[in-house]
């Protein structure tokens, strides 16, 4: 999704969420537009097995009842390979799919591309998006400091307004 200047547009609240197809941890394709009909939460994270990322995804795992109540699906997304994501999912007993944006297209489309984080170039900024059943972005949080966790309550509150 490119803007008028040729650069990538980010997914703003009220705009249509950029569509994508990414491989999950089991090497199965997941297409966002196929998820229409229920809310979707996208949780972009910098790197599997890192401290804050592990805490964040485990928080989402432990809050899955709140997502289920809203009939929402949760996807974790990083630039890690699906091999790494499978090991991370197994190790942390994560109960939702992890998607590999290895080619860094989706993090750009969502404005979550981190040029340089402690020498790691082109990884995801910690970001959360809530997309409604019609594919419209209803919540967006992109953090510049990866040591911070997202505002989970805002994610839950946004989902509550959609159900």
**Quick count: other Cβ atoms within 10 Å of Cβ 152?**
14
Dump pLDDT digits (tens) for 57-96.
Answer: 888 889 888 888 889 999 999 999 999 999 999 999 999 9
* Cβ atoms of 43 and 61 closer than 8 Å: no
Question: What pLDDT does 148 receive?
Answer: 84
Give this prediction's pTM.
0.89
41-72 core/surface letters (b: 16 or more CB in 10 A; e: else): bbbbbbbbebebbbebbeebbeeeeebeebeb
Question: What pLDDT does 103 receive?
Answer: 95
Question: What pLDDT does 10 receive?
Answer: 65
Residue 58 among the catalytic residues: no
Helix (H) or strand (E) holding 152: helix 152-162
CA 124 to centroid of chain Cα atoms? 9
* Cβ atoms of 127 and 143 closer than 8 Å: yes
Going by C-beta distance under 8 Å and a sequence separation of 6 or more, which residues neighbour residue 24? 30, 82, 85, 97, 98, 99, 100
**Which residue in the list 23, 43, 53, 99 is annotated as catalytic?**
53
Question: What pLDDT does 73 receive?
Answer: 94
Residues of the chain with pLDDT under 70: 1-10, 163
């Amino acid at each position: 999704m490119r803007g008028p200047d040729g650069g990538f547009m980010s997914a703003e609240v009220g705009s249509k969420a950029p569509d994508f197809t990414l491989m999950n941890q089991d090497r199965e394709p997941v297409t966002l537009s196929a998820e229409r009909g229920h809310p979707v939460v996208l949780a972009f994270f910098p790197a599997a097995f890192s401290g804050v990322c592990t805490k964040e995804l485990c928080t989402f795992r432990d809050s899955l009842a709140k997502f289920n109540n809203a009939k929402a699906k949760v996807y974790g997304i990083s630039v890690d390979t699906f091999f790494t994501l499978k090991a991370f999912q197994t190790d942390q007993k994560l109960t939702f799919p992890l998607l590999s944006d290895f080619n860094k297209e989706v993090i750009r489309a969502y404005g979550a591309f981190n040029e340089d984080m402690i020498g790691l170039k082109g990884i995801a900024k910690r970001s959360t998006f809530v997309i409604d059943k019609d594919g419209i972005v209803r919540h967006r949080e992109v953090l510049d400091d990866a040591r911070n966790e997202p505002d989970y309550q805002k994610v839950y509150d946004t989902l509550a307004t959609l159900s």
